[in-house]
Structure 1
């Protein structure tokens, strides 16, 4: 394993930021090249600890000569967000200088123009430097795993619809509980990678997506950080790499996938109609029917007549649930994967939420 650092120049009086990169060299067999990163939203740690548990497995495979394809790993992909602490809390989702989500506004360039992303890069704002470095490394690979987590959620993934059902091997490696299919219209990291692939030479492929995958993995909720879960997730990553021929050997996990598969336009965003304390009546993973009670919002403590009941807009499965227990009007409460078109349109840019 080779360790290096990418230096991101600061602006104004800001210090420089350092981005550690771990690389395993394959045996030159023509196996897929893999890129894995975690904590692009700096406070989302399940992917970080999964990588921590994965590294010993890869070191052992390296010692055996079982690494067939090059592997690039960025264990903590956002040193800028990791430095944003206010009033004792990490603010790692949005860059404070621009107020832009760290997983939005990634550069959309054709594959052949990847080298241009890092030219004269130090003159750019730090967050733009970071995004350019990450996309340039990832889009040069064939398999790209961007590890995130939600508030409270099932284990699920976002991926371009073109990758399904070929990505079922990934679902079986991780034991995914749901798959959400995007349409490639946003500037999120995973879709910046697919943009480069879509607008590049096929390299002998019959289609741009053949033998490739770029996805956002949501490793459950922010509090799902423990050694047993991390080891299980590490074995999921390793199993996927073995299935795709990046690492030699038999996959360690094989769990039949039976969860919902829903396009983003079929994900029901259940939002709070009023402000109040949240009393959830349904948990993640539960199947619900239209009109079924999901939660009660306590708007006037001591006066039950003012309670507001939130019901399911359609049949489906609860994929995520907000971790906050006080919400404002319009705040998201749940995401439900369904077989019906969502009752509300997506925001411009293609993402479900900011």
Structure 2
């Protein structure tokens, strides 16, 4: 194992950011290479914990020569966001300087243009240099896994159609309860990687066998527990073994049996008015159109001071807000359904 650091100079004097990078050299040049990063949204920590346990497993494998493909792990990919603590809360999703999401605005380049990402870096902001360095590093690999989490959530993944159903082995190994099939039309990290993989110098490819770019949503932000995380690390190890990245012939991955639904089938349940949230249904429950999901106390004390929020479609509650007060238009839940929830959804991400 080799441990190095990526150093990102700050935009003001006397500041720099350091990202530890762990690399394992594989013994088989034909085996797939893997890039894994966690906490691009710095306050999403389940992936950090998973990386810690996975690295422990990888070091043991390295000691006995069981690493077949090159592996790169960046367990805490956003030290800039990690330092953004205000009023007792880490603000790790958005850059406070530019007000942009740390997981948006990644450059969209073809794979052959990879090295253009790091040209003229001295003229760019620290956040832009961070994004370009991460993307450049990831594009040197075959399989790219970006570890995130949601608010209150089941274990699920965003996977571009171009990598499905080949990626069902990952969904199975990590016991995903749902897969959201994305359209690859945003500037998020995983979709920027997918953009490059689908454009390898010629026309856009509809499928890319042997390649993968995926966002893994490792349950909710509070789901950082040793037993769960160790189980997830074992699941990721099983995926690596199944793809031939590590040697463990005793492992087999069972078929994935959960739902795989396009983003058009995701109902974003929003608060019609501001108020205190009383949830009636929880993640993992199956609901029918018309079921009451939550009650908003909009005018406390008034006889008519509540508003019920009902499901508009049948489906599985995949996520729920951890907040208990909603502003008008805030997201309350995501429901994965069996049919399109709207016909006018623009390509791209579900949330900012």
Q: Give TM-score scaled by structure 1 length.
A: 0.95
Counterpart of 2:274 in structure 1 is 275
- Report matched runs for 1:20-39 at 5 Å: 20-39=20-39
Instruction: Select between 211-220 and 6-15 the one with higher mean Cα deviation.
Output: 6-15
Alignment of 1:54-133 (within 5 A): 54-133=54-133
* Distance in 1 (alpha carbons) for counterparts of 2:180 and 2:206: 22
C-alpha distance in 1, partners of 2:322/2:70?
38
Provide the alpha-carbon RMSD of the alignment: 1.6
Name the residue aligned to 1:342.
341
What is the CA-CA distance between 1:119 and the residue it aligns to?
Answer: 2.3
8 Å CA contact 1:239–1:251 kept in 2: the answer is: no
Q: Could you tell me how far 1:115 is from its partner in structure 2?
A: 1.4
Structure 1 counterpart of 2:298: 299
Name the structure 2 match of 1:323.
322
1:305 is paired with a residue of what secondary structure?
A: coil
Check conservation: 2:273, 2:327, Cα contact below 8 A.
yes
Count of residues in correspondence between the two structures? 350
Cα deviation, residue 117, structure 1: 1.2
> Residue 182 and residue 45 in structure 1: after superposition, are their counterparts in 2 closer, same or farther (change >3 A)?
same
Superposed CA deviations along residues 209-243 of structure 1, whole A, max 9, x for unmatched, are 11111100000000000110110111111011001
Alpha-carbon distance between aligned partners in 2 of 1:150 and 1:208, rounded to the nearest angstrom: 27
Conserved in 2, the CA contact under 8 Å of 1:193 and 1:214? yes
Secondary structure of 1:179's aligned partner: strand
Report the Cα offset of residue 140 of structure 1.
Answer: 1.5
**Would you say 1:184 and 2:153 are equivalent positions?**
no
Distance in structure 1 (CA, Å) of the matches to 2:305 and 2:257: 40
In structure 1, how many angstroms separate the alpha carbons of the residues matched to 2:171 and 2:249?
A: 16
Matches of 2:268 and 2:293 in 1, distance apart?
13
Whether the 8 Å contact between 1:177 and 1:257 is mirrored in structure 2 is no
SS in 1 for 2:304: helix
Shift of the 294–144 alpha-carbon distance from structure 1 to 2, 3 Å rule, reads: same
When residues 294 and 121 of structure 1 are mapped into structure 2, their CA distance, relative to the original with a 3 A threshold, is same
Moved more, 210-219 or 296-305: 296-305
Give the Cα separation in 1 of the matches to 2:320 and 2:254: 24
Contact 1:39 1:75 in 2 (8 A): yes
**Structure 1 position 220 matched with structure 2 position 219:** yes
DSSP 3-state at the match of 2:261: strand
Mapped partners of 1:215, 1:272: distance in 2: 29
- Segments ≥4 residues shifted beyond 6 Å: none
Residues 1:291 and 1:208: Cα distance change in structure 2 (over 3 Å): closer
Specify the alignment match of 1:353 in structure 2.
351
Unaligned runs of 5+ in 1: none
| Deviations 1:188-211 (CA, angstroms, capped at 9, x unpaired) | 000100111111159xxx975111
d(CA) in 2 for partners of 1:257, 1:165: 10
**Whole-Å Cα distance in 2 between the matches of residues 81 and 140 of structure 1?**
25
Select between 97-106 and 242-251 the one with higher mean Cα deviation: 242-251
Query: What stretches of structure 2 of length at least 5 have no aligned partner?
Result: none
Q: Give the Cα–Cα distance (whole angstroms) in 2 for the partners of residues 46 and 344 of structure 1.
A: 34
Q: What's the offset of the Cα at 1:301?
A: 1.8
User: How big is each residue's C-alpha offset from its partner over 1:221-266, in whole Å with a ceiling of 9 and x where there is no partner?
Assistant: 0000011011011111101100100001146574553322111111
Q: Which moved more, 1:242-251 or 1:332-341?
A: 242-251
